[in-house]
Amino acid sequence: MSRRGITGRAGVLAVVALLVASCGSPGKPVDPAPAGDAGWPQPAHVAGPDSSAGGGADTSCNPLASLAPDKGTSIPDSSTMAKIKERGKLIAGVDQTTYLFGFRNPTSGNLEGFDIDMVNEIARSIFGAPEGRVQFRAISSGQREDVLKKHQVDIVVRTYSITCTRRKDVQFSSVYYVAGQRLLVTKESKATKLADLNGKKVCAAKKSTSAAKIATDPAKLVAISVDNWSDCLVMLQQGQVDAVSTDDTILAGMAAQDPTLQVVGDQFSQENYGIGVPKDNEDMVKFVNAVLENIRTSGAWQKSYRQWVEPSLGQASPPQPQYR
């Protein structure tokens, strides 16, 4: 064998030796960190029961009697409506998370729904057309009174139940929609009423009349309260709660978004929606009531209801107003 062959063979053997060494035992592996069950993350600000939420237990007044509207929707000088017109924008506190009533269309980015239609009709009566004339401010259920008391908005149209307790802090229009509290559960659930959920977790939004009902029901539910109804939906989908309970209008929107869920049981409350107005703006209350009269009689209410609500909850007519 030539010297070159010996040298080449030695080189090959050296490479093989290195490969064998590299394939040797790596030693004792390091134990990984112990892994337990990784639960779903919860929404921010999850809280417990609130028996006084919404003030629905206060019967010291007739909450549905609003201020009688002025004839027509003319705008007097120096009125609240004149100041809004001069500003160029109607500022409205609304929801952007409740499908069918106040939600953001993922395609257009616009806010849509039955409540949004009500806002646009009020803007139409002030400006002649709503396009570009509404500044929507997305708020949670718990912020409704605060933004009105601080005059941060002109109106709140956000599935807002009228109660005597709330009337101490804000004004309300006449009733423009009547809903009722029910249950949303998975289709595998056997529950059809609150009594079927004894000891189970039931979700509602903070400061809502629904949260108070859950907290005080004889079924001894485990009340869970969150900032927005969409948080309840996510918690139900992830199995963190056993049911969501609120107005059937809100639940219908959740069920429409998720075919694995269903609205069950009879209504066990009556929720009368009104448009919230700052306490000292009585002229605005009368104006809004005049707008609502037009909405009821012109067919605008029925048109909006057919588009958003009727496919889920069936036929309905606008509620008759009460005035004082």
| Tens digits of residue pLDDT in 81-98 | 999 999 999 999 999 989
- Match 């010291």 to its residue by tokens: 60
Characterize the bridge pairing of strands 65-66 and 322-323: parallel
pLDDT for the residue 45: 61
Could you give the CA distance from residue 51 to residue 55 in angstroms, rounded to a whole number? 9
Q: With bands split at pLDDT 50, 70 and 90, how would you rate the model's confidence at 73? A: confident
Characterize the bridge pairing of strands 181-186 and 261-264: antiparallel
| Residues 68, 324 contacting (CB under 8 angstroms) | yes
pLDDT over 70 for what percent of the chain?
82
18: pLDDT strictly greater than 60: no
4: pLDDT strictly greater than 80: no
> Could you tell me which of 275, 283, 278 has the C-alpha nearest to residue 82?
283
pLDDT over 90 for what percent of the chain?
76
Characterize the bridge pairing of strands 222-226 and 201-205: parallel
Mean pLDDT of 305-314: 95
DSSP 50-88: -TTGGGTT--SS-TTEEPPPPSS----TTSHHHHHHHHT
pLDDT, tens only, 245-269: 999 999 999 999 999 999 999 999 9
C-alpha distances in Å from residue 214, one per residue of 182, 268, 269: 11, 11, 12
pLDDT for the residue 6: 46
| Residues 149, 170 contacting (CB under 8 angstroms) | yes
pLDDT for the residue 65: 97
> Could you tell me which of 310, 319, 322 has the C-alpha nearest to residue 114?
310
227: pLDDT strictly greater than 80: yes
Residue 278 backbone phi and psi in degrees, to 5: -55, 145
Could you give the CA distance from residue 54 to residue 235 in angstroms, rounded to a whole number? 22
Question: Virtual CA dihedral for 320, 321, 322, 324, nearest 10 degrees?
Answer: -160
- Match 């069936």 to its residue by tokens: 314
Exposure string for 131-165, b = 16+ CB within 10 A, e = fewer: eebbebbebbbbbbbbbbeeeebbbbbbbbbbbeb
pLDDT for the residue 28: 54
pLDDT for the residue 59: 82
Mean pLDDT of 9-35: 49
| Residues 206, 216 contacting (CB under 8 angstroms) | no
| Residues 150, 280 contacting (CB under 8 angstroms) | no
Higher local confidence (pLDDT), 56 or 203:
203
Tokens of 13: 């053997």
Tokens of 301: 């209410």
Lowest mean pLDDT among 17-21, 37-41, 222-226, 284-288: 17-21
- Match 């939600």 to its residue by tokens: 103
